[in-house]
């Protein structure tokens, strides 16, 4: 089997992936700031990195997957005022909404899911190291800043030069030595939550949280740090700056997923509500939304439209129907296998579009094989194996919730079939055919068996 190659944002090239420890991988993925329900842009990152994780597991790695929750932030505080509930209630409410969305899309739960507010001690320790070694300073007002001038390497991930960095015209230099210095810690404001530190009461800066939590769970050096493209600067640059100034090697490989776009732009706020995961799940099943979000290469923008989503869902139902037919021909669920062609695609920087082409080809062979059990077992096994890595295996019990809908579907389809049978008996073949066509247009396949008709997607 070919070896895994991944694109590293830092080197801007694809290189063979080599884990720091044999057969073990540590991944840190920047999680949500829990201040609103998740939209599909948020959840795409979860799906993309879940595919990476599943592929690493399938190829024999033990994966430690850390995805944090940013549960203190300006936006959360604003929301608390707006919703007239405590800030922590806002955070918990939307953390739950994210968890529900991840679950609905079959994203494996992280090994660790640390909340920022649970790691203040680790953040204070990190700031202490940075102040002691002269990388950071506390000007006395409760803020703590990192002195970016002193860094040997800064902005190498985003390929910028410090002197080219735009600074705000009105940058307040009362406390900062340089307008580009960024806050590790923010002094308490009246009425806002705060935690005591040796430098005054305050709350964590966003960047510091991730450095402290990555260090706490993955150590001074780990394999992969991930996030959306928009996090490269300033968030990831600042994570690197703090961590390396503290003497940590930090992440070996940097991976960034592209956005979900609408009209070529990063998802617009105006479409915001309709693109919330919970709203879209009223139109398609979780497994279909996952298939759609995972179908593009993770580094390619995914231009969203409801038409494209519907088309993708229809395509997925054809894959499901193929596996359902295989199950009925074989008399058992096809056994998943990882085909060499699929592995080659995944090893090529997770080339899902090529993997989908392979799935389509396996289905074509399976579908043209009549009921040759050997061919069906092989092709359906390959398709199921591929689907399990993409997190879209229809036999996965996690999608059982959609099966409870099947009971209702069962009743409705039986009713339609009785109508078709009645039409046939009175020799109204036009009506019988129309009913059959309408059932087919829903993506449902009906087979006549000795025990009566049986249906599948």
Q: Tell me whether the omega of the peptide bond preceding residue 376 falls within 30 degrees of 0, making it cis.
A: no
Rank residues 251 and 380 by Cβ distance to Zn ion and give the closer one: 251
- Per CB under 5 A, the segment of 35-43, 71-79, 203-211, 274-282 that binds Zn ion is 203-211
- Per CB under 5 A, the segment of 52-60, 158-166, 202-210, 387-395 that binds Zn ion is 202-210
Does 30 sit near Zn ion (CB under 5 A)?
yes
Rank residues 102 and 358 by Cβ distance to Zn ion and give the closer one: 102
- Give the Cα separation of 353 and 337 in Å (integer): 19
Site map for Zn ion, 269-298, x if CB under 5 A? ------------------------------
- Give the Cα separation of 91 and 116 in Å (integer): 11
Q: Which phi and psi angles does 146 have, rounded to 5°?
A: -95, 135
Residue 148: CB minimum distance to Zn ion, A: 18
Residue 447: CB minimum distance to Zn ion, A: 50
Q: Which string of DSSP letters, residue by residue, matches 258-293?
A: PPEEETTEE--GGGGGGGBHHHHTTTS-HHHHHHHH
Rank residues 211 and 379 by Cβ distance to Zn ion and give the closer one: 211
Residue 18: CB minimum distance to Zn ion, A: 24
| E strands, 12-154, in order | 13-16, 24-29, 62-67, 136-137, 144-146
Rank residues 30 and 56 by Cβ distance to Zn ion and give the closer one: 30
- How far, in whole angstroms, is CA 446 from its chain's centroid? 35
Rank residues 210 and 345 by Cβ distance to Zn ion and give the closer one: 210
Rank residues 210 and 329 by Cβ distance to Zn ion and give the closer one: 210
Residue 87, CB half-sphere, CA atoms under 13 Å: how many? 15
- Give the Cα separation of 207 and 270 in Å (integer): 28
Does 72 sit near Zn ion (CB under 5 A)?
no
Burial 341-351 (b: 16+ CB within 10 A, else e): bbbebbbebbb
- Give the Cα separation of 319 and 393 in Å (integer): 10
Residue 391: CB minimum distance to Zn ion, A: 23
Which residues, in sequence order, are CB contacts of 13 under 8 Å at separation 6+?
A: 7
Q: Classify the phi-psi angles of 428: left when phi > 0, otherwise alpha if psi is within -120 to 50, otherwise beta.
A: beta
- Per CB under 5 A, the segment of 24-32, 123-131, 365-373, 448-456 that binds Zn ion is 24-32
Interaction with Zn ion in 206-245: which residues (CB under 5 A)?
210
Q: Which string of DSSP letters, residue by residue, matches 329-361?
A: HHTSPPPP---HHHHHHHHBT--HHHHHHHHHH
- Per CB under 5 A, the segment of 25-33, 50-58, 176-184, 443-451 that binds Zn ion is 25-33
Q: Which string of DSSP letters, residue by residue, matches 34-55?
A: -SS--BHHHHHHHHHHHHHHHH
Rank residues 245 and 432 by Cβ distance to Zn ion and give the closer one: 245
Residue 234: CB minimum distance to Zn ion, A: 11
Residue 60: CB minimum distance to Zn ion, A: 28
Rank residues 30 and 255 by Cβ distance to Zn ion and give the closer one: 30
Rank residues 17 and 254 by Cβ distance to Zn ion and give the closer one: 254
Q: Which string of DSSP letters, residue by residue, matches 163-219?
A: GG----TT--TTT-SSTT-EEEEEE--TTS--B--TT-SEEE-HHHHHHHHHHHHH-
- Per CB under 5 A, the segment of 26-34, 151-159, 290-298, 351-359 that binds Zn ion is 26-34
- Per CB under 5 A, the segment of 104-112, 162-170, 205-213, 246-254 that binds Zn ion is 205-213
Q: Do the beta carbons of residue 224 and residue 7 sit within 8 Å?
A: no
Residue 213: CB minimum distance to Zn ion, A: 8
Rank residues 46 and 381 by Cβ distance to Zn ion and give the closer one: 46
Residue 210: CB minimum distance to Zn ion, A: 3
Residue 125: CB minimum distance to Zn ion, A: 18
- Per CB under 5 A, the segment of 2-10, 30-38, 212-220, 401-409 that binds Zn ion is 30-38
Residue 205: CB minimum distance to Zn ion, A: 11
Number of chain residues interacting with Zn ion (CB under 5 A): 2
Residue 219: CB minimum distance to Zn ion, A: 17
Rank residues 239 and 288 by Cβ distance to Zn ion and give the closer one: 239
Residues near Zn ion, by CB under 5 A: 30, 210
């Amino acid at each position: 089997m070919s070896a895994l190659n991944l694109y590293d944002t830092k080197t801007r090239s694809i290189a063979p992936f080599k884990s720091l420890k044999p057969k073990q991988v540590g991944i840190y993925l920047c999680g949500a700031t829990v201040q609103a329900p998740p939209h599909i842009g948020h959840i795409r990152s979860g799906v993309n990195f879940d595919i990476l994780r599943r592929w690493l597991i399938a190829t024999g790695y033990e994966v430690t997957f850390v995805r944090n929750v940013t549960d203190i932030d300006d936006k959360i505080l604003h929301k608390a005022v707006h919703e007239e509930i405590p800030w922590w209630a806002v955070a918990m409410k939307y953390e739950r909404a994210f968890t529900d969305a991840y679950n609905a899309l079959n994203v494996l739960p992280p090994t660790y899911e640390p909340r920022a507010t649970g790691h203040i001690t680790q953040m204070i320790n990190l700031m202490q190291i940075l102040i002691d070694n002269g990388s950071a300073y506390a000007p006395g007002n409760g803020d703590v800043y990192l002195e970016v001038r002193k860094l040997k390497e800064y902005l190498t991930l985003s390929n910028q030069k410090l002197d080219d960095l735009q600074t705000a015209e009105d940058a307040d230099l009362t406390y900062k030595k340089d307008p580009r210095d960024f806050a590790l810690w923010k002094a308490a404001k009246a009425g806002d939550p705060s935690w005591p530190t040796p430098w005054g009461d305050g709350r964590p800066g966003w960047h510091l949280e991730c450095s402290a939590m990555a260090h706490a769970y993955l150590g001074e050096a780990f394999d992969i740090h991930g996030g959306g493209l928009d996090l490269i600067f300033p968030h990831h640059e600042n994570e690197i700056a703090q961590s390396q100034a503290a003497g940590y090697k930090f992440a070996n490989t940097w991976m960034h997923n592209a956005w979900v776009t609408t009209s070529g732009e990063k998802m617009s706020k105006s479409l915001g509500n309709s693109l919330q995961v919970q709203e879209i799940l009223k139109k398609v099943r979780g497994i279909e939304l996952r298939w759609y979000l995972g179908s593009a290469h993770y580094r390619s923008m995914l231009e969203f439209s409801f038409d494209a989503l519907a088309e993708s869902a229809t395509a997925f139902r054809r894959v499901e129907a193929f596996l359902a037919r295989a199950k009925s021909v074989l008399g058992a669920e096809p056994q998943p296998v990882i085909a060499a062609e699929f592995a080659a695609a995944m090893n090529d920087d997770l080339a899902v579009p090529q993997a989908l082409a392979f799935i389509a080809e396996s289905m074509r062979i399976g579908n043209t094989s009549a009921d040759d059990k050997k061919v069906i077992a092989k092709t359906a096994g390959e398709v199921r194996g591929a689907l399990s890595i993409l997190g879209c295996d229809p036999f996965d019990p996690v999608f059982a919730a959609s099966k409870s809908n099947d009971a209702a579907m069962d009743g409705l389809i039986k009713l339609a079939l009785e109508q078709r049978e009645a039409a046939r008996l009175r020799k109204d073949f036009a009506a019988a055919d129309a009913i059959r066509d309408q059932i087919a247009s829903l993506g449902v396949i009906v087979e006549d068996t000795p025990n009566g008709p049986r249906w599948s997607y």
